[in-house]
Amino acid sequence: MMALSRWKVIVVIASIAFGLLFALPNVLPQSARDALPGFMPKKTLNLGLDLQGGSYLLLEVDTSALRKEKAVNLLEDVRKVLRDEKITFSDLAQTREGVSVRITDGGRVADAYNLLTKQLPRPLKNGTGSDLNVNRAGDQRLTLNFTEQGLNEQSASAVDQSVEIIRRRVDELGTKEPAITKQGANRIVVQAPGESDPEKLKDVIGQTAKLTFQMVDTSVSLQDAAAGRLPPGTEILPSTDNYSPAYVVRRRAEVTGEMLTDARQENDPQSGAPVVSFRLNSQGARRFGEVTTKNIEKPFAIVLDGKVISAPRINSPITGGSGQITGNFTVESANNLAILLRAGALPAPLNVEEQRTVGAELGADAVQAGTISVAVGFISILVFMVLIYGFLFGGISVIALLVNGLLIIAAMSATQATLTLPGIAGLILTLAVAVDANVLIYERMRDEFRTGRPLLSSMEAGFSKAMTTIIDANLTTLIAAAIMFFFGAGPVRGFAWTLSIGVFTSVLTAVLVTQLLLAIWYRTARPKTLPIA
Amino acid sequence: MKFWPLIKIIPMKTNFRFVAFSKYAAGISVALSIAALAAVLIPFEGPCGGLNCGIDFRGGTILEFTTQPAPATATPGQGAANTAPATPGKQIDLGVVRETLSGRGLGEVGVQAYGDGSSAMVRFETPKGKDANAVKSEVRRTLESKMPGIRFTNDATVGAKVSGELFLSGILALLVAIGLMLVYIWFRFELQFGLGAVIGLFHDVFLTFGMIALFDMEFSLTTIAAILTIIGYSMNDTVVVFDRLRENLRKYKRMPLREVIDLSVNETLSRTIITGLTAVLALTGLAVFGGEALFGFSVIMIVGIILGTYSSIYVAAPVILLWGVKRGVEDEPEPIKFGAASRP
């Protein structure tokens, strides 16, 4: 055991070299890091949001809203298909799984069934089955039910799409290095480090930004409509303009946000008020031209997420494919709306389930407190070890501990594991427990030496017998860390990761480095007695 | 140099009769565990009972604000040294804060000052059926109008759905951790050892929870992390004692079990003390210098480590006495070889 096997020397030297190389960027200023040659690692410790400040948002895609919308669309589709073929029907209604309808003419039930089966179901992306089942339910009734796979596929694609749109929106805000990731089936985590304004971030992310242009129905007064005399195919939408608390508008959207190619915040040349100017694609421009030509002198409503933001009167046909949205805007809100419109609407509403913000200065305070406490903890361990075991054996474990600290920093930098505030505590505890391996070995050596064994054999027995215990003891910590990793969220995971890295580096250094140093001491000093016995 | 290194004055061979005291220790431990459980569960209402749940598990919002002026340049990570405010902030009148927030249906409102009294934290619940963000913005505006010049620094909002999930997965994590430890010890030693270890773990976890409830410390995600770490440490400690116990059971086949247990605990005593002291020393540094955020975390770990040390001596090992161990010369189980040779 005390013979220096070559592989042990190589492992120790290689890991120290690794440690130095990967820990180095942490002590260099940014300019020096940039000047490093390409093959050198440049990554520093990846500080968590609680240490560098920033915002964390956990969003959930509201898939039930998505289902509802799908059912409404299906209802309209069924109505259109049957009307187009002049099949009379009644009882067209939403059900829990989709839509059901009764065909009035018993002789045309089969026709209707064939038509609906041919036109409405869409094949799934994975190629097995379709998103809709059409069934004959007796009594001339047809039911159209969404399949579970179809709904799941749609939810999944809505989540993916949302991630993409959020990324575009956040990028437009100029947030530095945002991390946007999917979590579970329908959740999205947004992490934005630094001094970003969390409220603005949330405003920009949380809005669906579904824009539609709908005609205002002027045939009925708002009071009559509110009293229940709502013309078919219209709805009452609340408004945010200064003229009317709500408008009666046609349900049909003439132009939608998908037809936009660009949106900018500008100032109105006449009034100087902030407006959002937009440009439509060719399809949208044609539709907009048609509608404005047909409806001169009538108002149309610009609807954002179910609210009318303005309802201007059409003065002349707008055929150029561009226009302006006026409304109760400040420069900032107009700018935000432009960002949202450029990035596109979210396929479903997002709910903010969890939000955490740490001010950058508090993050800096935490880093400072963390650094001081790590230093104090580390030094007290070092002093304690030297006091307990003397300069030689204590010193050896101090060197092992220093190598350990170096390796942890290097491994954390190399893997870009997030160092959180609890992670700092994990680091300290790891160092304290790393000492345990040394203590176990030394105590065992004393025990063996005391029973009258010769020095060399006691030292060897110390290592071999302590080894089982060291591995058992460290495996238990690893189990605890693994559980934290699988069950824990954000900061707890960072803690678990720090702890796990620490377990590996501790065993490596406390056993190998200590062994190497003791072997060197034994060879050079040729001692006859154990200094700690 | 007679007194240094210190290891020389720690007696190499101690002969404490731990097992003899274990009856009294068991009585105290059982009584304390029951008291701790009562402190945690009473008042018996979900989800937290007597624990002071943070918003992680209860849902709601935390807002932190200060009257200190913003530092001119706050570059994260680097400008740490010059973040000290040039002028000290005004004292925050907590009464005004409480008054502002009362009568709004915000549930149990927590108000707390920290630092030199120029910073404060408020915690409130989101009224049922209201949007958490709207409520938070309103509270911010109201506080700003009552106390002009305050700056909001940190905030956090956790929705009811997420907090429920976090609570469940937190409790589940603790149970799974203890369960896995049982399996691990069973696999590496014997079932009796595993049971002893697990009873020791429950003891540590209960008492730690009891302390958290007693001192009204915040129970949050990081608390769960601290307790999981305690579980890891306590097992670590127990395993060291058990390892020696297993070895001694083989070495002294005729010695009565209680004497073997005493011998093993005594033999590992100096290691137990040195390692425990090191950990407590390092964590004390953390508690003193780590600031507000790490204080609770470090205190829980320090207490946990002391409990873990105590439980491996007085709970885990004596429990083995209750069931006894198989010590037949013939049917002695072969130790599983693991990594380096487990025998010389």
Domain boundaries, chain A: 6-49+361-525, 64-152, 207-356
Q: Are residues B174 and B195 in the same domain?
A: yes
Residues B32 and B71 in one domain: no
Q: Among the three residues B134, B158, B182, which one is the final residue of a domain in this structure?
A: B158
Which of B70, B76, B224 is the closest to A194 by Cβ? B76
Are B152 and B172 members of one domain?
A: no
Give the pLDDT of residue B82.
Answer: 44
Identify the CATH assignment for A6-49+361-525 out of 3.40.50.2000, 1.20.210.10, 1.20.1640.10, 1.10.630.10: 1.20.1640.10
Predicted confidence (pLDDT) per residue in B300-344, tens digit: 999 999 999 999 888 887 788 888 887 755 444 555 544 444 443
Task: Indicate whether B297 and B186 sit together in one domain.
Answer: yes
pLDDT of residue B306: 93
Cβ atoms B280, B305 nearer than 8 A: yes
Cα distance between residue A513 and residue A359, in whole Å: 42
Any chain A CB within 8 A of the CB of B101? no
Is residue B196 domain-shared with residue B154, that is, in the same domain? no
DSSP string for B167-199 = HHHHHHHHHHHHHHHHHHHHHHS-HHHHHHHHH
Euclidean distance between CA atoms B63 and B133, whole angstroms: 12
pLDDT bracket for residue B280 (50, 70, 90): very high
pLDDT at position A115 is: 86
* Contact across the interface for A354 and B159, Cβ inside 8 Å: yes
Question: Are residues B137 and B286 part of one domain?
Answer: no
Interface of B with A in 244-273 (CB under 8 A): 244, 247, 267-268, 270-271
Contacts of A503 in chain B (CB under 8 A): none
Geometric angle at alpha carbon A165, from A161 and A171, rounded to 5°: 145
Tokens of B28: 């105290």
Three-state DSSP at A266 gives: strand
Q: Is residue B68 domain-resident?
A: yes
Report whether the peptide linkage leading into residue A531 is cis, meaning its omega lies within 30 degrees of zero.
Answer: no
Q: Tell whether B11 lies on the interface with A, counting CB pairs under 8 A.
A: no
CATH number assigned to the domain comprising residue B178: 1.20.1640.10
Please count the other Cβ atoms lying within 10 Å of the Cβ belonging to residue A424: 29
Contact assessment for residue A435 and residue A397, using Cβ atoms and an 8 Å cutoff: yes
Give the mean pLDDT of B20-30: 87
Contact flag B231-A480 (C-beta cutoff 8 Å)? yes
What total number of domains does chain B contain? 2
Q: pLDDT at position B75, please?
A: 44
- Any B CB within 8 A of A502 CB: no
Kindly give the pairing relationship between strand A255-256 and strand A211-215. Answer: antiparallel
CATH number of A207-356: 3.30.1360.200
Residue B85: predicted pLDDT: 46
- Determine whether A118 is exposed, middle or buried from the number of CB atoms within 10 Å of its CB (0-12, 13-18, 19+): exposed
CB–CB contacts below 8 A, A to B = 286
Q: Which domain holds residue B130?
A: 60-158
Assess whether B17 and B64 both reside in one domain: no
* Cβ count near A364 (within 10 Å): 24
Contact state of B285 with A351 under an 8 Å Cβ cutoff: no
pLDDT of residue B336: 52
The string of DSSP letters for A482-513 reads HHHHHH--HHHHHHHHHHHHHHHHHHIIIIII
Q: Is the ipTM of this complex over 0.85?
A: no
Neighbours of A429 (CB within 10 A): 28
Write the DSSP assignment of B283-301 as a string of letters. Answer: HHHHHHHSHHHHHHHHHHH
Distance in Å from the first CA to the final CA of chain B:
34
Angle at A87 between CA A86 and CA A91, to 5 degrees: 130
User: For position A169, what pLDDT does the model report?
Assistant: 83
CB atoms closer than 10 angstroms to residue B221: 22
Q: What is the pLDDT of residues B227-247, one digit of tens each?
A: 888 888 888 888 899 989 999
Which H helix or E strand runs over A518? helix A514-525
Q: How far apart are CA A46 and CA A35, in angstroms?
A: 20
Q: In terms of Cα–Cα distance, which of A313, A300, A265, A262 is closest to A284?
A: A262
Other beta carbons within 10 angstroms of residue A313's beta carbon come to: 11
Average pLDDT of span B95-118: 80
Phi first, then psi: what are they for A134, rounded to 5°? Answer: -100, 125
**CATH fold label, A64-152:** Alpha-Beta Plaits (3.30.70)
- Whether residue B334 is contained in a domain is answered as no
- In the stretch 449-488 of chain A, residues with CB closer than 8 A to chain B read 450, 460-461, 464-465, 467-469, 471-477, 479-481, 483-484, 486-488
Based on the domain organization, do B220 and B299 belong to the same domain? yes
| B153 and B228 fall within a common domain | no
Give the mean model confidence (pLDDT) for residues B135-153: 83
Query: What parts of chain A have a pLDDT lower than 70?
Result: 1-3, 176, 194-198, 489-491
Query: pLDDT averaged over chain A?
Result: 85
**Same-domain pairing of B126 and B183:** no
What was the pLDDT predicted at B87? Answer: 57
Cβ distance of A440 and B240 shorter than 8 Å? yes
Q: Rounded to the nearest 10 degrees, what angle do helices A421-450 and A455-487 cross at?
A: 160
Q: Do A488 and B224 touch (CB under 8 A)?
A: yes
Q: Name the DSSP letter for residue A131.
A: S
B289 and B238 in one domain?
Answer: yes
User: What is the C-alpha separation between A530 and A519, in angstroms, rounded?
Assistant: 13
In which element (H, E) is residue A526 found? none
Please report the pLDDT score of residue A401 as a whole number. 92
pLDDT tens-digit readout, B7-18: 777 776 788 888
Reading the block at residue A232, the tokens are 């078919």
> Which of B158, B176, B208 is the C-terminal boundary of a domain?
B158
Rounded to whole angstroms, how far apart are CA atoms A520 and A2?
9
Q: Which residues of B266-301 are buried (b: 16+ CB within 10 A; e: fewer)?
A: bbbbbbbebbbbbbbbbbbbbbebbbebbbbbbbbb
Domain boundary among B109, B138, B158: B158
Distance CA(B79)–CA(A361), nearest Å, equals: 9
> Looking at the structure, do residues B220 and B276 belong to the same domain, yes or no?
yes
Q: CATH number of the domain at B76, please.
A: 3.30.70.3400
